[in-house]
Structure 1
Amino acid sequence: MTAGTARTSRPRGPAQLQGIQALRAIAALLVVFGHAAHEAEAIAARIGVPAIDPSFLYWGSGVDIFFVISGFIMVHTSAELFGRPGAWRIFLARRIARIVPLYWLLTSLLLIGSLFVPQLLNVPIGDWQHILASYLFIPSLRGGSEIRPVMALGWTLNFEMFFYLLFAGAMFLPLRRGMAALAVTLLGLALIGMACPTTQVQVAFWTQPMIIEFLFGCLLALAYRHGIRLPPAVAAACVALGLVAMLRLPGIDDPAWLPQFLRLGIPATVIVAGAALNRGDVPRHAWPLVALGNASYSLYLFHPFALRPLRDIWIRFAGASLPLEIYVLVAFAVAALSSVLLYRLVEQPMSTWFRFSAAPRPAPGPMPGTTAT
């Protein structure tokens, strides 16, 4: 990488990856904002004050950013494995060690909580088949109306795991042919979803057009491997313009001719491009985001556990004496702090143990770069 190493006072890692880590924090905080606003709405209804209106922002666009980042990281970290014997096993073992332990732990805590404090749940837990599907990352109907696992936020992980399987299949081929096969597969699935809608739950879920956002990230990683870089000013402009595009702009918002996965997927890709292809250093003021980005997975999964009880605490002790905007700020702080602690005390040790105890060793293969033909 051309950026070099960071100073010891900065978060460790190349500047390119630091920018991606900062984006992970931003993406997670967008989701936290949406859920904090939802909790604030519930507080407003209880205490009889006006609710906060979060509709000015596509806060769900944090997921689109995550998907583009995921595609980028998969190619960036695994490109040299393509075409090697057993590459798919190595890749899946790494991803399972990264994703599964914390998700299964929090899903189990949610199930235990449903037995003792069911009043804290916004929706009821489904039957045993739904629970099993949730653990196995298989899309399943919750309440007969929406495709959500026991932990609702896990719907994005159902997408992630499906993408990992497709990506692992592409690794049987050299990099270029593998990426071409993956692109054809993702585009084909999206076209099926748009042209042939179905009521079959798993097919309907896996053929949603937003799956193409993973491909956008893969293409950015290929651009990075080919040496494409952006001047710092251009990279910063990409991030800024992409974030502005995720606002609901009066008069030009939601054009009928632009599908939703492009409405948010294109800005997400522009944002990730600004971070991933930036040939400069991460600005000093972004360092806290880089640090929080390390805990972004914990932040994404755990923040509902922090916000739901915070709602009751706020109603009891603050009520209408403080504006709900303050509640949102407190929710950000509580979610961030608790997630950093969870990351350091639970997620990181678990992932490290699983990664080193269960991941297979790479098999001998061609020298780096020879698998790209």
Structure 2
Amino acid sequence: MRFHSEILEGRDAGNDAGKPSHLLLNLQVLRGLAALSVVVAHALHETQMLAGATGRAAVDGSAWNLGFGVDIFFVLSGFIMTHTAASEFGKSGAPLRFFLRRCARVIPLYWLLTSILLLGALAAPSLLAVPIGSVSHVLASYFFIPSGRGVDEIRPVLALGWTLNYEMLFYVFFALALLLPIRLGIVWLSVLMIGMALVGSLVDPNHVQIAFWTSPIILEFLFGVYVALIFRSGVKIGKGIAFGLVVIGLLGFVHISAPWNDTALPQFLRSGLPAALFVLAAAIGPVLPRKRIVLWGVALGDASYSLYLAHPFILRPMRAIWTKAIGGALPLGLFVVFATLVAVMFAVALFRAVEKPLTRRVQSIVLGSARRKRLATGTLPAADTESA
């Protein structure tokens, strides 16, 4: 899932999103918790494998919708893109600048981890639960094109990258919306995405790419766009209303069987709307106190992209180590706790040692080249080169 680990990118858009604020603090904590929920969901899944090997009962997580973190990230993506690029609508060259920034942010770590997985598959193919697939599937994975992997599974080589396929689609649409003034751009974006979601119900699922890209889940990005518009209007809410929004949003974390069956609802309603309420509460609600636990949440939010993409590289080896070293001596709930903590520590280290410097280097190359080109063609004044 693409997580915007540096909301400070707002500086690039020429607005004040880069200033330390409750927006940065609250959303970073929310992103950290969302990433953590995905990790816990996958750690719970690993206990099902461990149950057969250790004789211990697997941890039953069926009551929880821990994949809800993905929905939160999609809403956050729509919010962040709209907020940080609001001043770019209608400006010359804005679509290309926006798209290059997003590619420079998303691609480096994803391509690195995908390549590592491919090398690992060549060295020890037996460790993979699902074969890598054809060369065309590998190429599609690198370029964010939905492609089949195994039976009835549309996933790239690095399976969690399925969310990035939606992210890149949204970036393309949003970049095109930047051609227009903000009001017209948002209307165009809304009509396009709602229209695609409506068409999706008519598409033959055998048309993999079209069926994938027209899934109603894309509307979750649009929810984030609207939340950003509410935030930018200056609306603020107090603790009571913010708490109420969070309580309702928490319904996204649970599976409800009565009085209705939540699985009968499309995901953008069952999970997307609660996610939008979470993001809305974080954006226009009171600032979180700057206590140690909140700052830990901010640090986790910073590393959330690394945590999301890299945690399977930790959970699978941890499962093997637990089987050999612990076996059935301890309940598997402790595996979930321990494996999650190790994944978090690894992600923080990966963010600081690899993701952050790698991303900065790529951004300096890609965006620096674009700035030099704009200077050479006379489309960018020299004074604007540092803030573009």
Q: Which shifted more, 150-159 or 348-357? A: 348-357
What's the offset of the Cα at 1:56?
1.1
Q: Which shifted more, 356-365 or 226-235? A: 356-365
Q: Which position in structure 1 is the counterpart of 2:117?
A: 110
Q: Which position in structure 1 is the counterpart of 2:6?
A: none
What's the offset of the Cα at 1:197?
4.2
Q: State whether structure 2 residue 363 is matched by structure 1 residue 352.
A: no
Cα pair 2:56 2:331 within 8 Å, conserved: no
Regions of 4+ moved over 4 Å: 362-365
Q: Which position in structure 1 is the counterpart of 2:315?
A: 307
Residue by residue, what CA displacement relative to the aligned partner does 1:17-65 show, whole Å, maximum 9, x if unpaired? 2111111111111110111011111011111221111111111111100
Cα pair 1:16 1:278 within 8 Å, conserved: no
What's the offset of the Cα at 1:144?
4.7
SS of structure 2 residue aligned to 1:146:
coil
Name the amino acid aligned to 1:15.
H
Distance (Å, rounded) in 2 between the aligned partners of 1:184 and 1:108: 37
Cα pair 2:65 2:252 within 8 Å, conserved: no
What's the offset of the Cα at 1:349?
0.3
Residue by residue, what CA displacement relative to the aligned partner does 1:150-185 show, whole Å, maximum 9, x if unpaired? 011000000000100000011100111001100001
Residue by residue, what CA displacement relative to the aligned partner does 1:292-329 show, whole Å, maximum 9, x if unpaired? 00000000000000110000000111111111010000
Name the amino acid aligned to 1:51.
A
Structure 1 residues 253 and 53, CA, compared in 2 at 3 Å: closer, same or farther? Answer: farther
Within 5 Å, give how 1:200-349 maps onto structure 2: 200-255=207-262, 258-282=265-289, 284=291, 285-349=293-357
Question: TM-score scaled to structure 1, two decimals?
Answer: 0.91
Name the amino acid aligned to 2:338.
V
Name the amino acid aligned to 2:88.
L
Q: Which position in structure 2 is the counterpart of 1:28?
A: 35
Name the amino acid aligned to 1:260.
Q
SS of structure 2 residue aligned to 1:147:
coil
Residue by residue, what CA displacement relative to the aligned partner does 1:309-355 show, whole Å, maximum 9, x if unpaired? 00000011111111101000001100100000000000000111111
SS of structure 2 residue aligned to 1:142:
coil
Distance (Å, rounded) in 2 between the aligned partners of 1:79 and 1:266: 23
Distance (Å, rounded) in 2 between the aligned partners of 1:123 and 1:177: 45
Q: Which position in structure 2 is the counterpart of 1:9?
A: none
Distance (Å, rounded) in 1 between the aligned partners of 2:212 and 2:237: 35
Cα pair 1:18 1:282 within 8 Å, conserved: no
Aligned Cα RMSD in Å?
A: 1.7
Within 5 Å, give how 1:103-182 maps onto structure 2: 103-182=110-189
Distance (Å, rounded) in 2 between the aligned partners of 1:306 and 1:117: 16
Q: Which shifted more, 240-249 or 211-220? A: 240-249
Distance (Å, rounded) in 2 between the aligned partners of 1:156 and 1:263: 18
Distance (Å, rounded) in 2 between the aligned partners of 1:103 and 1:255: 33
Structure 1 residues 91 and 121, CA, compared in 2 at 3 Å: closer, same or farther? Answer: same
Cα pair 2:250 2:274 within 8 Å, conserved: yes
Residue by residue, what CA displacement relative to the aligned partner does 1:259-287 show, whole Å, maximum 9, x if unpaired? 22201111111111111112434463422
What is the percentage of aligned positions where both structures have the same residue? Answer: 48
Return 5+ residue gaps in structure 2 as ranges: 1-18, 382-388
Return 5+ residue gaps in structure 1 as ranges: 1-11, 366-373
What's the offset of the Cα at 1:256?
7.0
Distance (Å, rounded) in 2 between the aligned partners of 1:88 and 1:251: 46
Q: Which shifted more, 299-308 or 282-291? A: 282-291
Structure 1 residues 129 and 349, CA, compared in 2 at 3 Å: closer, same or farther? Answer: same
Structure 1 residues 112 and 244, CA, compared in 2 at 3 Å: closer, same or farther? Answer: same
Distance (Å, rounded) in 2 between the aligned partners of 1:198 and 1:206: 11
Q: How many residues align?
A: 354
